[in-house]
Amino acid sequence: MYVLSRFLMKTLEERGKMMKITMAELARKCGYSKATVSRALADDPRVKPETKSLILEVAAQYNYQPHMVASNLAKRCTKTIGLMFPKAPRTIADPFFLEYLHGVSETLFEQGYSLLIPQVRRQRVMET
């Protein structure tokens, strides 16, 4: 379990480094409201092209990445994929499995999804 935790923490740290500023900070730097910045980033036609261009330029300059959880919450869509596997200590410690898990996680993240890995315990059905 420790190996998997270390792997996931490293992945989360790498993702944390990608987001340099929040949308509120981006809005302040651009001189627009959060709503305008949000619309510009979503390519909303109500935002003037020059405004959108400025916001996208500043967003790129600060390496802004939308916060996936907040974005999905606003859309009322979790975009979370669950990967379930039975409790098996050797599976978690297997380097191939960790590499596979890393690939799945990265691919999902690039598409705007998050990965949930619950521990599944088999329960024996008691006969009465």
Mean pLDDT of 2-31: 68
Q: What's the rounded Cα separation, in Å, for the pair 97 and 32?
A: 46
- pLDDT tens digits, residue range 17-43? 554 688 999 999 999 999 999 999 989
User: In this structure, what are the phi and psi dihedrals at residue 81, rounded to the nearest 5 degrees?
Assistant: -110, 130
In degrees, rounded to 5, the angle at the alpha carbon of residue 57 between the alpha carbons of residues 51 and 60 is 140
Query: Model pTM greater than 0.75?
Result: no
Q: What is the pLDDT of residues 43-81, one digit of tens each?
A: 999 999 999 999 999 999 999 987 777 777 777 888 889
Q: Domains, the chain, ranges and CATH? A: 1-17+78-120 (no CATH), 20-64 (1.10.260.40)
